[in-house]
């Protein structure tokens, strides 16, 4: 209460002060009247009254103290003084604010990202109780999978540790009219999904139990608030019909604002009942796909809510009991499987939260270093400027100003600077966040819940960075400046001739620390740049420099597989016949697409030889179009590629061939797919292996099926064009798009790009590249700040030491010697900074090692170049002022004082 009243008083300050003066004036008047009544004359009475009242000024001062205004009074005074000083030194203010804005901006941007990724709470109720169950291969713990619908039903019915259990599968659905399909993140969910998550539709209803049954194709959909917003919050949304994968679905519900389903970064925009899963996925008519009701499928994420009082640890025995009973019901599927339970991933179905968290904290740490360097730099600037203010401060101390008051005033000035810097930093942060999210948006076809818009948490963080930076850059200088060595300072700054005993210690430790921190960042940046360079040069194994990729999905167009196969065959012929096209072929996969499906494959009749391999269903001209040279044997014939009933044949890559027949001839051998051992495929050719993920050191084993045998609706046409077409990407893309639409105007084109662009948009390459960009930005920032710091300090010291230099030269020191002395002192600072920074860089290098691509943490190139760059820049920053020092004319220097 009292605090509140005092706080309010600050704002009523002027009014209360006027009232107090008025009250006291009245008092004096009344006393004077009394005095007149007692027989004094007017003037006498007035003065007597004043005497009786006492010293009004002192009393008012006391009264203000009582009301707690002293603090506010001082603060306002400091603020006014600070604003005047900052305006007077506009150049200094601008420099300081810019430095702080860079530091605070970098931190706010990174915080914005990390906050969204790691700290923003999930959008469902009581996230602490929610766990995800998975099934782990006990022979190969890296293999973790989800469950079939049947297994989910059993888990839900028989477990005794979850209060309820939901099932969901994340999907991508094609929304919209035929030619213009938008891919949209969606989820097929069990009927109790919303109830288990504790969030009900804001409008309309949730799904009914009967809508969950596999094959029960009730065409209903629930949309997110964000989806609704994209349609201008249309009041008619509820009950309207959406065209999804070319089928009509009725909107029966709209979720409340902010609900994003079970993931945080990726918006789920549409929810379907599990009953339409097969329709949405398009698996309903697949030759070799899994329907939802298939016990062999493992497409459903199973998420449950722990019963009150249970934790992941205490529920473990119950979980293993559940696993044992599942294994009895599904002996084939659950053989050698062990159930695991953990809080669900915040990002997507299969990602490593710990790795993401780790990157987040790494980024925060890096940004923190930048802010630290910025603060140290500013501290230096304040000290240098303080030298000019020392006389002012000494005078105030001499007149009785308290030291704490002076420190407080200097800190208030610092706070002003920090707030201005923070405002600049926020602008910078929003701008860079937008850049980052736009660059991520190019990579991922679905919407991201992430923007540079101010959220309360981010604003609070920016303000926190401001407040935290004030003591770091302001306290040291304030304490040092207010120490005031009165007499020496009040006399002209006569004898600032420096006595130094420890010549090998850096003259300015702040600068040395800055250099060390910058070197650490620069080295990290260099590691990432090296890594990005080698990632860009990564070989996929395809010679695809003149290849365009057209990504199509007949499932999203609502075509049945038979029609789709015919369509693809016609389209292949049309594309191959275009002028300027050398060859064209369809394939279900392209290296580094991020999907890269696998199948288990075995020598015919030898189940124990089964091994996982990448597979690709391709057309007859695939190997020439994709630039993959056949090592031996032959490629598919047109009949084999297009007719499902033709001879079963397969082409394997050399890795798989070596794995299956370590010392034998693969051609003519028979292989089977583990999930369909009825068909034996004859190996007719061997091709070189291709690389599907950047971080694997070896290309993957893989095999190629004719498209007719390994069909899926989602395909990539590989179109190899002549050089003249390859040069004009836009025109060629138009040509290809027109050709696709001529064959079927309703077929959705998901993407159309050159192979080079495809590689560029690979998420792993993106990570390495963004790492290089972000760390280069941080490193560059830190380098600039450190260099500015070195230059400022050396230049300032040269100015202060003009007299000393003058004496040295008058006594016969050669100009070169003076220059060497100044540069030498700078180099001592540099050397100590580099030594410390080098150690830090080694440490950071070790920490980021796992994120680097084909570059060791102790990469000699990075560890040489970064210090060399830093040393060169520091040398220049010392040399320029040193040259000025060498030009000091001793006569002028000595006369100057």
By the criterion CB under 8 A, which residues form the site for other proteins? 1-2, 5-6, 19-20, 23-24, 26-27, 29-31, 33-34, 52-56, 59-60, 62-63, 65-68
CB atoms near residue 228 (< 10 Å): 20
Backbone angles phi, psi at 713, to 5 degrees: -70, -30
Of the pair 67, 391, the CB lying nearest other proteins is at: 67
Of the pair 24, 578, the CB lying nearest other proteins is at: 24
Question: Least distance (Å) from other proteins to the CB of residue 79?
Answer: 25
Of the pair 27, 396, the CB lying nearest other proteins is at: 27
Sort strands 247-254 and 220-223 into parallel, antiparallel or unpaired.
parallel
Write b or e for each residue in 847-885: b if 16 or more Cβ atoms lie within 10 A of its Cβ, otherwise e.
ebeebbbbbebebeebbebbbeebbebbbebbeebbebb
Give the separation between CA 569 and CA 641, rounded to whole angstroms.
Answer: 9
Of the pair 69, 330, the CB lying nearest other proteins is at: 69
Give the separation between CA 205 and CA 653, rounded to whole angstroms.
Answer: 52
Calculate the alpha carbon distances from 673 to 456, 536, 605, 666, 691 in Å.
55, 34, 10, 16, 22
Question: Least distance (Å) from other proteins to the CB of residue 60?
Answer: 8
Question: Least distance (Å) from other proteins to the CB of residue 234?
Answer: 57
DSSP 644: T
Give the separation between CA 478 and CA 457, rounded to whole angstroms.
Answer: 31
Question: Least distance (Å) from other proteins to the CB of residue 25?
Answer: 11
Question: Least distance (Å) from other proteins to the CB of residue 40?
Answer: 16
Question: Least distance (Å) from other proteins to the CB of residue 59?
Answer: 4
Question: Least distance (Å) from other proteins to the CB of residue 400?
Answer: 23
Of the pair 61, 129, the CB lying nearest other proteins is at: 61
**Where would I find the H helices in 199-310?**
225-230, 277-281
Of the pair 61, 137, the CB lying nearest other proteins is at: 61
Question: Least distance (Å) from other proteins to the CB of residue 66?
Answer: 5
Give the separation between CA 98 and CA 178, rounded to whole angstroms.
Answer: 51
Of the pair 61, 154, the CB lying nearest other proteins is at: 61
CB atoms near residue 78 (< 10 Å): 20
Of the pair 27, 182, the CB lying nearest other proteins is at: 27
Helix (H) or strand (E) holding 337: strand 337-342
Angle 763-800/860-886 helices, nearest 10 degrees? 20
Of the pair 27, 632, the CB lying nearest other proteins is at: 27
Question: Least distance (Å) from other proteins to the CB of residue 14?
Answer: 16
Question: Least distance (Å) from other proteins to the CB of residue 9?
Answer: 9
Question: Least distance (Å) from other proteins to the CB of residue 507?
Answer: 53
Of the pair 50, 217, the CB lying nearest other proteins is at: 50
Backbone angles phi, psi at 412, to 5 degrees: -60, -40
Of the pair 19, 545, the CB lying nearest other proteins is at: 19
Of the pair 18, 388, the CB lying nearest other proteins is at: 18
- 3-state class of 551 per DSSP? strand
Quick one: tokens of 794? 């050396």
Of the pair 67, 543, the CB lying nearest other proteins is at: 67
Q: What is the 3-state secondary structure (H, E, C) of 24-70?
A: HHHHHHHHHHHHHHCCCCHHHHHHHHHHHHCCHHHHHHHHHHHCCHH
Q: Which sign does the torsion angle of CA 513, 514, 519, 522 carry?
A: positive
Question: Least distance (Å) from other proteins to the CB of residue 33?
Answer: 8
Question: Least distance (Å) from other proteins to the CB of residue 20?
Answer: 7
Give the separation between CA 32 and CA 823, rounded to whole angstroms.
Answer: 77
Quick one: tokens of 643? 């007719």
Complete DSSP assignment for 68-108 = THHHHHHHHHHHHHHHHHHHHTHHHHHHHHHHHHHHHHHHH
Q: Which value, to the nearest 10 degrees, does the dihedral of the CA atoms of residues 536, 541, 542, 544 take? A: 20
């Amino acid at each position: 209460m009292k605090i509140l009243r005092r706080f309010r008083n600050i704002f009523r300050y002027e009014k209360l002060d006027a009232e107090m003066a008025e009250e006291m004036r009245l008092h004096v008047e009344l006393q004077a009247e009394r005095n007149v009544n007692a027989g004094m004359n007017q003037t006498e009475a007035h003065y007597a009254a004043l005497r009786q009242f006492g010293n009004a000024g002192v009393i008012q001062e006391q009264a203000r103290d009582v009301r707690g205004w002293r603090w506010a009074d001082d603060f306002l005074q400091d603020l006014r003084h600070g604003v005047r000083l900052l305006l007077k030194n506009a150049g200094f203010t601008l420099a300081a604010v810019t430095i702080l804005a860079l530091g605070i901006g970098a931190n706010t941007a990174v915080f914005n990202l990390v906050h969204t990724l790691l700290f923003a709470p999930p959008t469902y109720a009581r996230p602490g109780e929610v766990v995800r169950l998975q099934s782990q291969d006990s022979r190969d713990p890296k293999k973790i999978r989800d469950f079939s619908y049947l297994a989910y039903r059993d888990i839900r019915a028989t477990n005794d540790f979850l209060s309820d259990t939901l099932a969901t599968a994340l999907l991508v659905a094609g929304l919209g009219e035929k030619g213009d399909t938008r891919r949209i993140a969606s989820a097929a969910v069990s009927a109790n999904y919303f109830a288990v998550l504790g969030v009900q539709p804001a409008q309309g209803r949730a799904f009914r139990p009967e809508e969950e049954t596999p094959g029960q194709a009730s065409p209903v959909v629930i949309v997110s608030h964000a989806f609704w917003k994209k349609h201008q919050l249309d009041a008619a949304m509820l009950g309207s019909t959406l065209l999804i994968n070319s089928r009509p679905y009725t909107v029966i519900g709209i979720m409340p604002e902010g609900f994003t389903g079970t993931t945080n970064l990726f918006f789920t925009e549409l929810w379907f009942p599990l009953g339409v899963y097969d329709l949405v996925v398009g698996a309903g008519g697949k030759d070799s796909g899994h329907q939802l009701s298939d016990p062999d499928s493992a497409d459903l994420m199973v998420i449950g809510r722990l019963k009150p009082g249970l934790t992941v640890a205490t529920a473990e025995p119950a979980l293993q009991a559940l696993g044992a009973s599942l294994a009895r019901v599904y002996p084939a599927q659950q053989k050698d499987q062990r159930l695991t339970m953990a809080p669900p991933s915040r990002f997507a179905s299969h990602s490593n939260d710990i790795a993401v968290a780790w990157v987040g904290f790494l980024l925060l740490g890096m940004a923190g270093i930048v802010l630290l360097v910025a603060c140290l730099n500013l501290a230096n600037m304040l000290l240098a400027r303080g030298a000019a203010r020392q006389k002012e401060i000494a005078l105030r101390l001499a007149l009785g100003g308290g030291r704490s008051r002076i420190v407080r005033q200097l800190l208030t000035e610092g706070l002003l600077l920090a707030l201005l810097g923070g405002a600049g930093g926020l602008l910078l942060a929003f701008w860079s966040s937008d850049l980052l999210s736009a660059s991520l948006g190019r990579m991922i076809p679905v919407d991201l819940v992430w923007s540079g818009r101010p959220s309360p948490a981010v604003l609070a963080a920016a303000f926190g960075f401001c407040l935290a930076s004030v003591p770091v850059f302001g306290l040291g200088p304030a304490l040092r400046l207010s120490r005031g060595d009165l007499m020496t300072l009040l006399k002209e700054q006569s004898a600032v001739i420096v006595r130094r005993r420890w010549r090998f210690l850096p003259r300015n430790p702040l600068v040395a620390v800055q250099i060390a921190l910058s070197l650490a960042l620069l080295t990290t940046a260099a590691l990432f740049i090296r890594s990005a360079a080698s990632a860009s040069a990564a070989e996929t194994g395809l010679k695809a420099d003149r290849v365009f990729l057209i990504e199509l999905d007949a499932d999203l167009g609502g075509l049945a597989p038979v029609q789709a196969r015919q369509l693809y065959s016609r389209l292949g012929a049309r594309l191959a016949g275009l002028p300027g096209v050398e060859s064209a072929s369809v394939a279900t996969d392209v290296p580094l697409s991020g999907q890269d499906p696998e199948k288990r494959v075995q020598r015919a009749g030898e189940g124990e030889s089964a091994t996982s391999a990448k597979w690709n269903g391709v057309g007859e001209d695939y190997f020439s179009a994709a630039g993959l040279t056949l090592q031996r044997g032959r490629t598919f014939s047109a009949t084999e590629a297009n007719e499902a009933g033709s001879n079963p044949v397969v082409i394997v890559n050399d890795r798989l061939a070596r794995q299956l027949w370590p010392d034998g001839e693969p051609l003519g051998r028979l292989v089977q797919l583990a999930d369909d051992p009825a068909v034996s495929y004859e190996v007719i050719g061997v091709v070189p292996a291709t690389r599907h993920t950047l971080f694997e050191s070896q290309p993957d084993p893989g095999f190629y099926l004719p498209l007719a045998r390994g069909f899926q609706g989602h395909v990539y046409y590989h179109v190899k064009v002549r050089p003249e077409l390859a040069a004009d990407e836009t025109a060629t893309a138009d040509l290809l798009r027109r050709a696709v639409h001529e064959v079927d105007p309703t077929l959705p084109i998901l993407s159309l790009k050159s192979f080079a662009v495809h590689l560029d948009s690979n998420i792993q390459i993106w990570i390495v590249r963004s790492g290089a960009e972000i760390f280069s930005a941080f490193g560059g920032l830190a380098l600039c700040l450190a260099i500015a710091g070195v230059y400022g300090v050396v230049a300032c010291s040269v100015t202060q030491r003009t007299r000393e230099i003058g004496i040295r030269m008058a006594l016969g020191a050669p100009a070169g010697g003076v220059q060497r002395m100044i540069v030498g002192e700078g180099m001592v600072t540099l050397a100590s900074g580099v030594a410390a920074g080098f150690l830090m860089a080694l440490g950071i290098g070790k920490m980021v090692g796992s994120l680097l691509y084909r570059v060791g943490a102790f990469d000699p190139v990075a560890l040489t170049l970064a210090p060399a760059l830093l040393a060169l820049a520091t040398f220049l920053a010392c040399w320029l002022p040193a040259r000025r020092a060498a030009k000091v004319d001793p006569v002028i220097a000595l006369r100057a004082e």
